[in-house]
Each structure stands twice: as structure tokens, then as C-alpha cells.
Amino acid sequence: MTLLNPILHSPVFGIALTVGLYWGMVKLKARYRRVHPLICTAAVIIAILVLGDIPYEDYRIGGEWLSWALGPATVALAVPLYKHASLIRSKLAPVMTGITLGAIVSAGMTACIFYLTGASMELMYSAVAKSSSAPFSMEIARRLGGIPELAAAISVLTGLFGSLAGPAFLRLCGVRSDIAIGAAIGTSSHGIGTARLMETSELQGSVSGFAMAAAGMISTLLMLPVYWWLLSSS
Amino acid sequence: MRGFAIFIAFHLIGLALEKGLSIPLPANVIGLGLLAAALFLGWIKLEWVEASSKIAIRHMGLLFAPAIVGTMVLAKQIQSEWLAIGSSIVIGTLVTMLAAGLAIKLWPDRRKQHDAAESHSA
């Protein structure tokens, strides 16, 4: 392995591995619809690191470069927020109420379930913003004392579950309008749910994209009182 | 390319405000809020950023793949608390989407009420 060490210790290793595998998975998805590029990329990288006995710290050098780019990518969410605002202009009050209520219920439910199961606070702060997209939940976890990586993984699992079970569950509960479905999925299952809705209805997907960005911002603002409370009590 | 430059610039402004004024909000959320405001005010034109935002959002998963890989070192902790994580994902997500969806569905529609009042008076 000594020959490989300079390569493994360079950021190029982590970046090339991630970008290469992700590109391959996107290609694979074009053929097999069930392939989820993000999950498959992460799973294969973990397998390579474990089987090749490569320390996670080596991968992390390059991984951090990609994580850095997540900041500007989050800023890009302003575009669907602006572009699709006109779709809901006539229903601005109910949609914003729905998104805000969803963000509050999500954090409240998570806090209750973690309290009841006696899980650690660290874990709770990593999961509290799980309905928001990973770049939001990671930053919220970082500020409250959770683990950003865990927050990202829980966000992704939440999005996957919501995108699989959400549309049918909402139909069962009598939520049928495109705007209500889009806002509910965007608020609870962020980008993964939005991508799922885009496959069948552009209107639902667009509203979901709006809701995802709005819910991420609202969840971040909701985190402020908890953050100040933690500061004052420490 | 102009779009990506704008996103990075707004992220940088967000970072400057977060660190400079010690605003307790993350730089990416400040940048997102400011870019949305700039779009609504017409300072930034949609066509400057539209194509870049599509690419950035569609492939955002690539950028948090490293974080998902990072959970491999947390495997023990996740194993011991899988019940809390699993149940909050299943129950929490369903209740969240139901709350948002029902709030919008059950919101009193002023126009409908207006119509109903009119037909009642007639």
C-alpha cells in the first residue's frame, strides 16, 4: 500500500472516486430505473474503503471538497423558490401555513419519539431537521451539537421513505389537489420527494421544489430559539 | 458558468454576514435568502441562473455523498439506536406530510364561502 499512499492522501482520490462512481450510477439509472445514484455511490464507496482497508480519513480529504460545494448548491434553491412562487400566489397563505406547520410537526414528532425511546441528545439533534434537505439538516445539527454526517444520512432516508410511501398515503388520506400534494411532499421529503413527483406531474414537482426550499429556511429559523436556549443554559 | 459564479458569490456574502455580524444562521441559508430576494427584486435575472440551478439541484446528491459515507464510522451508534431513527423516519414523515397536506386542503376557501353565501341569500 506504500506505493498508493501519496494518491490516497491527495484530495483527488476522494473526489475522483465519488464523481466517477456517481457518474456511473447516473448512467446505470438510465437503464435500470430503480438505481438510486446517491445511495448506490455511497454504498460502493463504503464497500471499497472497507474491503481495501483504506482509512475513512483518507477518503475524507477529497470528500470535504465536495461537501464545500454543497454551500453554493444550496443557494441555487433560490431559483425554484422564485420561479414557482407564481404557481401558489393565489394560495400563498394556506401553502405557507402548511409548510410551517409541517416543519414544526416534524421537529416536534422527532423530539417526542427520541425522548420516548430514551435516545441520546446528540442523535436527537442529528435527526430533528430530517424532513429538510441534507444541506439544511447538516447545518442545523452542526449548530445544535448533533453529527452533520448522521443528519445527512437520516435526511436521505427520510426523503426516500417519503418519496416511496408519500403519494399513496396522501391519496388515502384524501389529499388530492396538486398544490397540497406538492407542498406536503416537498416539506416532508425534500429533494428526493420532489424528484419523484416530477416524474408524474410537473405542477406537483414545482410546488414541491418551492416547499423544499421554504421548509429548509423555516426549519433553520425554528432552530434559532433552541440554539439560544442551549447557549444560555450551557 | 455565470449562474455558478452567482451562487458562489451569494454563498460568500452569506459567509461574510455569518462570520462578520455573527448571525447564527448558516451561510448557505443566508445566501439562499438573499438570492431569492435579489430575484424577486429583479436585481438578478432568472435567465442568468436558471440553467445552472437545474444542474446544481439535480446533482446535489453527489455533493452530500461524502457525508453519507461518513456514517460508516458511526455504525455502532446507529445500530444501538435504530429503533428511534427508524420510527421517527416512518411515523414522523407520514405525520409531517399529513399536517402540511391537510392544512392546505382544509384551509377555508374564501371564494367558495362567498359563493355559498350568495346562493344562500338568493
Could you read off the pLDDT of A72-127 as tens digits, one per residue? 999 999 999 999 988 888 889 999 999 999 999 999 999 999 999 888 888 999 99
Which one of B58, B82, B98 terminates a domain? B58
Show the domain range for B6.
1-58
Cα A146 to Cα A96: distance, rounded to the nearest angstrom: 28
Instruction: State the complex-level ipTM.
Output: 0.89
* A120: nearest CA partner in chain B: B81
Question: B46 and B73 in one domain?
Answer: no
pLDDT value, residue B60? 87
Task: Tell me the whole-structure pTM to 2 decimals.
Answer: 0.89
Instruction: Kindly calculate the radius of gyration of chain A based on its CA atoms and give it in whole angstroms.
Output: 19
The answer for B 56-115 residues in CB contact with A (under 8 A) is: 56-57, 59-74, 77-78, 81, 83-85, 87-105, 107
Give per-residue pLDDT as tens, A88-101: 888 899 999 999 99
The DSSP symbol for A91 reads G
Residue B75 in this model has a pLDDT that exceeds 60: yes
Q: What is the mean pLDDT of residues B35-41?
A: 95
Question: B121 and B83 in one domain?
Answer: yes
Select the residue of A93, A117, A183 nearest B83 (Cβ to Cβ). Answer: A117
Query: Predicted confidence band at B121 (pLDDT cuts at 50, 70, 90)?
Result: very low
The grid coordinates of residue B67 equal 457525508
Question: B70 and B50 in one domain?
Answer: no
Which one of B30, B58, B86 terminates a domain? B58
Select the residue of A82, A83, A101 nearest B99 (Cβ to Cβ). Answer: A101
Question: B34 and B10 in one domain?
Answer: yes
- Number of structural domains in chain B: 2
